[in-house]
A and B are shown apart, each in its own frame.
Chain A
Amino acid sequence: MNPSGFPEQVRRAWAIAKKDIRIYYIKGPVLIFGVFMPLFMFLAFLMGTRQLPLSFLISGLVGMTLFFTATAVSPAIFPWEGQAKTLERLASCPVTVEAIVFGDMIASTLFGIGITIITVIIGLALGLSLLHGITLLFAILLAACCFSAIGMLLAVPPTNVPSNIMMLSSLIKFPLIFISGIFVPLEQMPAWGLVLSVFSPLTYFTDIVRYSFTGIHFFAVWIDIAALAVFTLVFTVGTMYLHKRTMPKRM
């Protein structure tokens, strides 16, 4: 066994992910937040914008659910653990910072996927037909990785006060919802909104979900997939690099 080898570090990241799921995710309030937050936002817009079809709104609901759930808890894990000194425990164990970050990402990815699949099932129960199931599944996997990397990126500022991070997180997450074609179709967006939407990974995921349920899409599917893959790679590498730099400042 080479403790610093890639397979061994991935195994240890999985141990961290299991710990995160047990401590932070399998909690009543977290699960309820994961399901109800996007659902209530969806209902608010369903009542406010009656002219939009249900299939469009369900695409937005799925997009929101994955985005909110994959970024709900992960930004606060580092501050929580810094405060409880358990991060110091991890830092003194033979795991790299990358493995710690990767472990946190795995947990939020799995949580995001789990809750999103429930939302998809709700959509199907409401009578929508899934036209491209495999594409949707692949997109959910990719976008969950991407959004969990965003969640970890939000945790980079080396504060051990979770509320500071959650505030920053909300400041960044909510505007993204409005420029990603969730409530306003990309076709109806003003030019400036469309330019902004190109920089949001949520745009591409919502576009694929819409394609999967209705067959309609704004960008070509390969562009959506490629964009999500690039965002995932950039955010993952970025968050690992930045956490490596800021980790000692939390101790």
Chain B
Amino acid sequence: MITVIHATDLTKIFGKSTAVDHISFDVRQGEIFGFLGPNGAGKTTTTRMLTGVIPADAGTATILGHDIRSEPVLAKQGFGVVPETSNAYTDLTAWQNLMLMGELYGLPRARAEQRSSDLLGMVGLVERKDQKVQAYSKGMKQRLILAMALIHEPELLFLDEPTSGLDVQSTQMILTLLRDLNKEGTTIFLTTHNMEEANRLCHRVGIIRGGKIVAIDAPEKLKTAIDRVHKIEVSFDREISGDALAGLSDVVGVNRTGDKWQITTDNRDTTIRSLVTFSQQNNATIVTLNTLAPSLDEAFLRLTQEEKP
């Protein structure tokens, strides 16, 4: 499989602090790669190095076959960037911003106009295309930024927290667009805090902590890798004592969550069997019974909190 991002020993030092510490990873063509980490872990710094906004202090990054330090223009020609902060020109209209991007990416005027019309339609801004961006809402600005990043039909798209602070409508629109773009072959490098977003979108995720990569894998594999204990959620038609549940086979913990009990067990099978027996013996009907897989949130927390002092 073709590698579109190849980072080797990428390092960035600010003063005495090492923001990104010799990280290496690959992103393959056609995948959505999620880059996760807590605040200050080095996600944005990594994205900025990969996009050529700031230089790395050590290591190399090859984007679409071009070294970002020695061939920055050729590398940048192939990708689009949606940064964390909206950075469209607020004194220009959406149309003028898109045409400016068209010119900066070397598109012929007719092509830029065609792409701008299509993209404005795609992000739902046709009606507001001649309005200055300063009058736009945050969601509209973010959709415009996405359109600006797509003007030259890039093979690779970098997105840094693209849905952070957006309303549900804008978030859904952006996520749907990303899925559609990926289906059409665009590789996506997505930095996010939102585990649910990463879980639903990404083929693989990389987790960074303290400037170092702590895990790279498919979300489901990451979840199962940390799954040392299992959880079962059960509710009954009448009040049941937690102590009674705690005494069942292989149960290591019991927590009340609303009208349900969340049971932590070493062995799902034996605990479920004993729950059924327990309900029959106590004449209590089981209303719901679910086995819970660990969420990506849990995997993330586990991976980013381990070895903390």
> Which chain A residues have a beta carbon within 8 Å of chain B's beta carbons?
1, 3-4, 8-9, 11-12, 14-16, 18-19, 22-23, 84-86, 88-96, 248, 251
Contacts and interface: CB of A to CB of B under 8 A. Distances in A.
B52 interface: yes
A85 B55 CA distance: 17
Contacts, number: 81
B83 A85 contact: yes
Contacts of B5: none
Nearest to A249: B54
Given A3-B73, A92-B53, A96-B73, A12 B106 contact: yes
Interface string B139-152: 00000000010000
Interface residues on B, range: 20 to 34
A69 B73 CA distance: 32
Contacts of B71: 4
B89 interface: yes
Contact of A23 (B55, B72, B91, B103): B91
B106 A251 contact: no
A92 B106 contact: no
Contacts of A248: 53-55
A86 B92 CA distance: 12
Interface in B85-104: 85-92, 96, 100-101, 103-104
Interface string B47-90: 01001111100000000000000011110110001010111111
Given A11-B106, A22-B96, A93 B87 contact: no
For B72, B73, B89, the residue with the greatest tally of chain A CB atoms inside 10 Å of its CB is B73
A126 B76 CA distance: 54
B278 interface: no
B74 A84 contact: no
B76 A94 contact: yes
19 contacts: A3-B106, A12-B103, A15-B100, A18-B100, A19-B89, A22-B91, A22-B92, A23-B89, A23-B92, A88-B83, A89-B81, A90-B104, A91-B52, A92-B83, A94-B74, A94-B76, A94-B105, A95-B104, A248-B54
A18 B90 CA distance: 15
Interface of B: 48, 51-55, 71-74, 76-77, 81, 83, 85-92, 96, 100-101, 103-106, 148
A98 to B, nearest CB: 11
B48 A93 contact: no
Given A94-B73, A96-B72, 15 more contacts: A3-B73, A3-B74, A4-B71, A8-B106, A15-B104, A22-B96, A85-B83, A85-B85, A85-B86, A86-B88, A88-B87, A93-B76, A94-B72, A94-B105, A251-B53
B96 A94 contact: no
A19 B100 CA distance: 7
B87 A1 contact: no
B284 to A, nearest CB: 59
Nearest to A5: B73
A251 B19 CA distance: 15
A91 B105 CA distance: 12
Contacts of A92: 51-53, 76, 81, 83
A11 B103 contact: yes
For A4, A11, A85, A92, the residue with the greatest tally of chain B CB atoms inside 10 Å of its CB is A92
A146 B106 CA distance: 28
